[in-house]
Structure 1
Amino acid sequence: MARWQPGATQRLVVAAVDLFTEQGYDATTVAQIAERAGVTKSTFFRHFSDKRELLVAGQETLSRLLADGITEAPAGASPLQAVAAGLERASGAMGPANRELGPRIKAAVAASTELQERDALKSVGLAAAMTAALIARGVPDATAHLAGELGVLAFKRGYAQWSESQGDEAEGLASHALAALEDLRAATASLG
């Protein structure tokens, strides 16, 4: 094993997703993940506190990108227009590796209650980041919370559609996330 190779975080995530898919989350050990990624256990623990954290790698970055997009939206933007700007910003950071991992991560999460709980906490964190950015723009609290929650739902729906689609490779996550946000906006109008 090489002393140091770049991309340890990404290699650990891919190794974990592969192992979770092959043998299940509960049967996978940190040692197996580290070995598959070509790193030591101590390197694993420099990047992640435990194996649950592997599937939420990048959450802080994603939260920051969503919030930055909202913050930088034009001054006259509605709350959902600001959320759309956040979705566009975050989507721009997602590439082919994210798209390829999507269905495998979804399967791993679906097969583990522990990962489902961690995924739910990730959603809460993303919504909180968007809500805080909207409140900082002067959006009333209840409206900011609703828009933040819709943003998370749109991102998750868009990501699922994007990662499972066999469409144009050039088509990015943004178009899927924005279409999902528009669908959700229309659905809220029908609530009465």
Structure 2
Amino acid sequence: MSRWEPDARGRLERAALELYSERGFEQTTAAQIAERAGLSERTFFRHYADKREVLFGGAQLLEGAFVETLAAVPAAVGPMDAMASTLEALSDFFADRHEFARRRQAVIAANVELQERELIKLATLTAALSTTLRGRGVGEAAASLVAEVGVAVFKVGFERWLRAEGGALSSFLREALLELRVVVGPPPR
């Protein structure tokens, strides 16, 4: 194996997903992932703490993108509209990752430990969004509600997008948000 190979993280992600799909998460080792990627086990651990993190390595990047995008929405925009704008803008984050996301979600759905990790990731994202909304001057309760709703809309839209044969994530997010607005109805007078 060479000392340096380009796109080691991407190669490890792809190799892990292939192996998890073929053998299952529990039956796959970090050494096998590294070997499939043409890298050393040491390189694997330089990039990931354990074999779970290969599936969740982009969580901090996604959270950062969510927070930065939400913080950049003009202050005059209300909290829910700011969240909707953020969801719309972030759909591009997944533009070329439909098949990868679909396969990743199938691996997660087949393992309770990974499902728990996914829930932790979503809870961390919700907390970060709530903090960002409070930084925009939104009250504590409203910030928590909007963050929870935003993540729920993202989750529902994302799951629908994964089941679909095509289409932009943004359209599924808009559809989920529209359904939410219909269910909630007009504000009380």
Please give the TM-score of this superposition, normalised by the length of structure 1: 0.89
What are structure 1's unaligned runs of at least 5 residues?
none
Return 5+ residue gaps in structure 2 as ranges: none
Distance 1:6 1:63 in 2: 25
Find out whether 1:142 has 2:141 as its counterpart: yes
Mapped to 2, the partners of 1:176 and 1:145 lie a distance apart of 23
Q: Is this contact kept in 2: 1:66–1:89, CA < 8 A?
A: no
The one-character-per-residue Cα deviations of 1:117-163 (angstroms, maximum 9, x if unpaired) are 10010101111121111111111111111111111122222222223
**Are 1:178 and 2:174 counterparts?**
yes
- The residue that corresponds to 1:94 in the other structure is 94
Kindly indicate whether the alpha-carbon contact (under 8 Å) linking 1:102 and 1:164 is maintained by their aligned counterparts in 2.
no
Structure 1 position 100, deviation (Å)? 0.9
The amino acid across from 1:150 in the alignment is V
Kept after mapping to 2: 8 A contact 1:162/1:173: yes
User: Equivalents in 2 of 1:144, 1:182: separation in Å?
Assistant: 20
Q: For residues 42 and 48 of structure 1, what CA distance do their matches in structure 2 show?
A: 10
Cα RMSD of the aligned pairs, angstroms, is 1.8
The 1:2–1:164 alpha-carbon spacing in structure 2 relative to 1, beyond 3 Å, is farther
In structure 2, do the counterparts of structure 1 residues 11 and 188 end up closer, same or farther at CA, with 3 Å as the change threshold? farther
Structure 1 stretches of 4+ with a deviation exceeding 3 A read none
121 and 78 in structure 1: CA distance in 2 versus 1, 3 angstrom threshold: same
Letter in 1 for 2:172: H
The 8 Å contact of residues 34 and 40 in structure 1, kept in 2 or not, is answered as: yes
The number of aligned residues is: 187
CA separation in 2, counterparts of 1:189 and 1:74?
25
Question: 1:46, 1:183 → 2: CA distance?
Answer: 44
Instruction: Verify: 1:44 aligned to 2:59, yes or no.
Output: no
* CA contact 1:24–1:108 (8 Å) conserved in 2: yes
Q: 1-side partners of 2:184 and 2:56: how far apart?
A: 29
Which residue type is aligned with residue 125 of structure 1? T
Which residue number corresponds to residue 154 of structure 2? 155
TM-superposed CA distance for 1:18, in Å, is 1.5
Query: Deviations 1:42-64 (Å, cap 9, x if unpaired)?
Result: 11111110111111121111111
The question of whether the paired residues in 2 share the 8 Å contact of 1:87 and 1:174 is answered with yes
Question: Identity across aligned pairs (percent)?
Answer: 41
Cα pair 1:69 1:88 within 8 Å, conserved: no
Whole-angstrom distance in 1 between the partners of 2:149 and 2:26: 32
